[in-house]
Structure 1
Amino acid sequence: MSTAAAIVLLGGILAYALFGGADFGAGFWELMAGEGEGAERPRRVIEHSIGPVWEANHVWLIFIFVVLWTAFSEAYASIMLTLFVPLTLAALGVVLRGASFAFRKTVDTARERRLLGLAFALSSLLVPFFLGAVAGGVASGRVPAGGKAGDPVDSWLNPTSILGGVLAVAAVAYLAAVYLVWDARRLDDAEMAGYFRVRAIGAGIAVAVIGVVGVFVLRSDAPYLYDGLTSEALPLVVVSAVCGVGALALLLRDASHWARLLAVLAVAGVVAAWGVAQWPYVLPESLTFADAAAPSGTLTTLFIVIGLALVIVIPAFALLYVLDQKGLLPEEGVADIGDPSTPLRRTKESPS
């Protein structure tokens, strides 16, 4: 049962990386858009793309924490006691990001909108960095077992954590740019599709470069993870690399539909490879999933609750995304006061 719980936990991390990560990546591109009139068009595409779903995607983050503290409470205690600094900063960033995104639709001056937009964009950059740093601290074995606190500084300010944070930012930026190419096409905006296509290619190359550099970082700083990535998890690493190269090739050919699928598989492959490489440890090399697992009665109850939740949540998520892709959802919030621009038109193309 501990193995099943670990798989469920990894599934939640995958879902949050692919859905919530794309939202953070969209905020990254809003930050990179700069200022001036030329920045408004990409920002409007970004807001149109994430507006209907940005709140829903954080369900997966809650899911991850619930599974971790219920199924592997000892590991949860150690992680929280050791990595409370980046986790707190990430939580504050999530709150700041959501508040900024919501409130900038109601303010009545351009200066306030710019300030809230900057807060949204910066928090979109910092949250994935801190979460990636947490993953790096865990994967490099800097979190002790036994529900004890490790070093609150070295646990997340170390080579593997920095690598994890930078890779997380680059990966979500890449994923978001690929998604935004498709969304711009749904809006019949060829210019913005080209704008985000160039950025998707650049971000994809950046992810590849960071991945190559990361090999040397992990070999010296996280040898257990490195050994796993070059043995049991190697097929997933290869699949991820092949899908990433394929997505870049399709983007260069302006074939955004299949590029989106390959980009998703590339990012999912990286996350899955991390999980397989770390197995059987939840805290390498001190605590296995089997040793950290809750009693069988607790795990059975957890699986029942998860099953019921998925029966309710998954169809609702599917309906939300289908309605969004078909352009059948109303625009979120109200129009900016004093903004003469008209709302973006939603098309009614079939979902991908």
Structure 2
Amino acid sequence: MDISFDLTVAWAILLAVAVYIYVVLDGFDLGIGILYPVFPHKRDRDLMMNTVAPVWDGNETWLILGGGGLFAAFPMAYAIIMPALYPPIIAMLLALVFRGVAFEFRWRAEGPRTRLFWDWAFIGGSTVAAFSQGIVLGALLQGIEVDGRAYGGGWWDWLTSFSVVCGLAVVCGYGLLGACWLNWRLEGDIQDKARRIARILGFGTVAFIGIVSIWTPFLEAAYFDRWFGWPQILQVSPIPLLVLGFIALLGRELYNERNDYMPFVLTLGLFGLCFLGLGVCMWPYVIPTSVTLWDAASPFKSQLFMFVGAIVLLPMILGYTAYAYWVFRGKIDHSSGYH
């Protein structure tokens, strides 16, 4: 797999990193909403929400960076992907808005029925957002029909059995992230319950990784050649081997109560390897297998101007994000409130 590095590739890496950071940071707080139904008591739900209350809204900065960066650096890809995926993308954005409203309003609910409504709004928004993100991923992987420089497919092309499986996989994976986060940040009975749920969701996530990994190479001949052709198989074989290693370590740590943070860290590493596998499939396309990165790229001067700005802003964003997590580090209990 030949990689020639230039500014277009640098932009692709930057956007990939932004999307991965979004998955990492927003994934676990979406996972908390997904887990709400198995924690029916208000006291537990308040405590779960308190673990992410100081940082959750900043996590979505990376989604904006990813979407805005795609529009700025690869406008042709943006013009094709958006019409192809309008329904799941709009569903995701509306779910994130509704979830954000529910996050704030449930604290001001005047009665149990009103609070229950906002709790279910939080559950629904989190689940729909996660499922929609998986749908988008699956639809992009299976390919988008391109006609010249525009989308050439139909309204429902994104909805396939593969994209639905990807949607369910993301819901399960985010649930695992959320459970591992709660295991790290909480203590007592609720931590024990979160760890038990993480074990169940860990099996589910591993199963989904296996299904999607086996299915993906058969979507496109280029994917199959990338993973099983010779000598490409020698270049990409470390990825599945590392995935198996991380799965084994995660399984061990979920039954080890000494290092509460390790299941969360290993889950992030597992997600990172899956993300790397996605990159192996898609390279060098931004829309597999129709539009390459260079086909969709904006002019060099435009990319350079925006890249300089991004390089200046990224350390600032990373800095205040890291500081926020550092300030609100450690275990919390029922005495730690949001307001």
Same fold by TM-score, threshold 0.5 exceeded?
Answer: yes
Q: Find the counterpart in structure 2 of residue 301 from structure 1.
A: 305
Query: Quick one: structure 1 residues 259 and 302, their matched pair in 2 at CA, closer, same or farther if it must change by over 3 Å?
Result: same
Tell me whether 1:238 sits opposite 2:241 in the alignment: yes
Q: Find the counterpart in structure 1 of residue 336 from structure 2.
A: 345
Q: Find the counterpart in structure 2 of residue 282 from structure 1.
A: 286
1:78–1:145 Cα contact (<8 Å) kept = no
Q: How does 1:1-352 map to 2 (within 5 A)?
A: 1-33=7-39, 35=40, 39-144=41-146, 146-184=148-186, 189-229=187-227, 231=233, 233-254=236-257, 255-326=259-330, 343-345=334-336
1:74–1:145 Cα contact (<8 Å) kept = no
Q: TM-score, normalised by structure 2?
A: 0.90
Q: TM-score, normalised by structure 1?
A: 0.86
Q: Tell me the distance in 2 between the aligned counterparts of 1:103 and 1:46.
A: 16
2:140–2:287 Cα contact (<8 Å) kept = yes
For residue 319 of structure 1, what is the amino acid of its counterpart? Answer: Y
Q: Tell me the distance in 2 between the aligned counterparts of 1:128 and 1:54.
A: 15
What SS class does the counterpart of residue 151 from structure 1 fall into? coil
> How many aligned positions are there?
325
* Large movers: runs of 4+ above 6 Å: none
1:160–1:221 Cα contact (<8 Å) kept = no
CA RMSD of aligned residues (A): 2.1
For residue 29 of structure 1, what is the amino acid of its counterpart? Answer: L
Give the % identical residues: 25
1:139–1:278 Cα contact (<8 Å) kept = yes
Report the CA distance between 1:224 and its aligned residue.
3.5
What SS class does the counterpart of residue 259 from structure 1 fall into? helix
For residue 8 of structure 1, what is the amino acid of its counterpart? Answer: L
Report the CA distance between 1:244 and its aligned residue.
2.4
Give ranges in structure 1 of 5+ residues lacking alignment: 329-341, 347-352
What SS class does the counterpart of residue 121 from structure 1 fall into? helix
Q: Tell me the distance in 1 between the aligned counterparts of 2:221 and 2:215.
A: 9
What SS class does the counterpart of residue 282 from structure 1 fall into? strand
Q: Find the counterpart in structure 1 of residue 3 from structure 2.
A: none
What SS class does the counterpart of residue 325 from structure 1 fall into? coil
Report the CA distance between 1:327 and its aligned residue.
7.5
Q: Tell me the distance in 1 between the aligned counterparts of 2:278 and 2:148.
A: 23
Q: Tell me the distance in 1 between the aligned counterparts of 2:169 and 2:256.
A: 26
Report the CA distance between 1:213 and its aligned residue.
2.2
Report the CA distance between 1:138 and its aligned residue.
1.0
Q: Find the counterpart in structure 2 of residue 336 from structure 1.
A: none
What SS class does the counterpart of residue 253 from structure 1 fall into? coil
Query: Quick one: structure 1 residues 198 and 222, their matched pair in 2 at CA, closer, same or farther if it must change by over 3 Å?
Result: farther
